[in-house]
Amino acid sequence: MTSPDGSDRLVSLESTVYVVEEAKVLYVQVFKAACTTMLWTMAGLAGVERDQLPFSTGAYVSRDMVIHDRRIHPVPTIGEVSDALRHEALTSDEWMRLGVTRDPYARLYSGWESRILLLHKGPWSTYPQPPLVDDGRSLDVGASFRSFVASMEEHRGVWQGDFHFAQQVHLLALDEIDYTDLVTTKELSSLFVRLSDRVGHPVDPGRLNEGLGIAYTDVYDEETARRCEQLFDQDFDRLSFSHQSFRVPRPAILVGPAYNALQMVRGRNQRLQDLSNYIDSLS
């Protein structure tokens, strides 16, 4: 199938649009929609192996996550390429213009788990939010998440100004980019096959940054689902995600060793942020 001719009308995005000239692939990053996997994919399309990336001084908790450090990412963004290459990437029918989307229910829980529950420091630390439901011996993940979503609905203007909690249609700039491929996270395997065929070598970095393994279906109730649908109304409408029915959530409570492990992870992430801040203060 021939790709449509595109238009160079992009104005709202720059730092989240990646361009691999060798493969003729443009990728628009959607945070919490397999973006770690996709950033490694773009590096692979550019011929860069994982062990070729230099050391990062940022607060990244694993080698997989250093791909998010813009200072060392090997693929340029559209704001860093020539005007001629920008125009070609946005308009040529020889280019793949790619975005990856995720079910809004799953994406909202994943964003909360990774940013708030695991204490990955960032601007969201200062946003209005309720405390975790934690009595010092156990932490109720489901109750904490449901309380957060209620607060987020009240303060949606603050939270949805952040990439991790913004609607996907805004991160994709659907009205500004003529996409040839919009796929969901469930379609990554077939996407990797097409990308491999495109460049003539295997492209599949695997699924990265998978989280704690708590299913989003276990933490939603009917009211929290309604709030999610309101917060991400355009994602449900324009990206054709279906509304789901949720009744009584299953218990998702961390106790004993699991509770202690979570406290260790949160403490580690805090120390990593403190170290990163110190390094930045020296430069």
Q: What is the pLDDT of residue 3?
A: 47
Q: What is the pLDDT of residue 74?
A: 83
Q: What is the pLDDT of residue 68?
A: 72
Could you tell me if 234 and 166 are in contact, meaning their C-beta atoms sit under 8 angstroms apart?
Answer: no
Please give the full DSSP string across 54-70, using - where no structure is assigned: ----S--SSGGGGGG-T
Could you tell me if 100 and 119 are in contact, meaning their C-beta atoms sit under 8 angstroms apart?
Answer: no
Q: What is the pLDDT of residue 278?
A: 66
The yes or no reply on domain 17-282 and CATH 1.20.1270 is no
Q: What is the pLDDT of residue 274?
A: 74
In whole angstroms, give the CA distance from residue 136 to residue 41.
41
Locate 144 and state its tokens: 């904490």
Locate 213 and state its tokens: 């393994």
Q: Which residues contact 138 (CB under 8 A, 6 or more apart)?
A: 253, 254, 255, 259
**pTM of the model as a whole:** 0.90
Q: Which residues contact 205 (CB under 8 A, 6 or more apart)?
A: 37, 40, 41, 44
Q: What is the pLDDT of residue 2?
A: 44
Give the burial class of 142: count Cβ atoms within 10 A of its Cβ; 0-12 exposed, 13-18 middle, 19 or more buried.
Answer: buried
Could you tell me if 116 and 233 are in contact, meaning their C-beta atoms sit under 8 angstroms apart?
Answer: no
In whole angstroms, give the CA distance from residue 236 to residue 79.
30
In whole angstroms, give the CA distance from residue 153 to residue 226.
10
Locate 103 and state its tokens: 């079910």
Q: What is the pLDDT of residue 147?
A: 98
Q: What is the pLDDT of residue 280?
A: 67
Could you tell me if 249 and 219 are in contact, meaning their C-beta atoms sit under 8 angstroms apart?
Answer: yes
182: which strand partners? 99
In whole angstroms, give the CA distance from residue 185 to residue 172.
15
pLDDT in tens, the chain (283 residues): 344 567 899 999 999 999 999 999 999 999 999 999 999 999 999 887 777 666 655 545 566 777 777 777 789 999 999 999 999 999 999 999 999 999 999 999 999 999 999 988 889 999 999 999 999 999 999 999 999 999 999 999 999 999 999 999 999 999 999 999 999 999 999 999 999 999 998 888 877 666 788 999 999 999 999 999 999 999 999 999 999 999 889 899 999 999 999 998 888 887 877 776 766 677 6
Q: What is the pLDDT of residue 14?
A: 92
Q: C-alpha angle with apex 99: 152 to 84, nearest 5 degrees?
A: 120
Q: Which residues contact 107 (CB under 8 A, 6 or more apart)?
A: 32, 33, 168, 232
In whole angstroms, give the CA distance from residue 95 to residue 178.
11
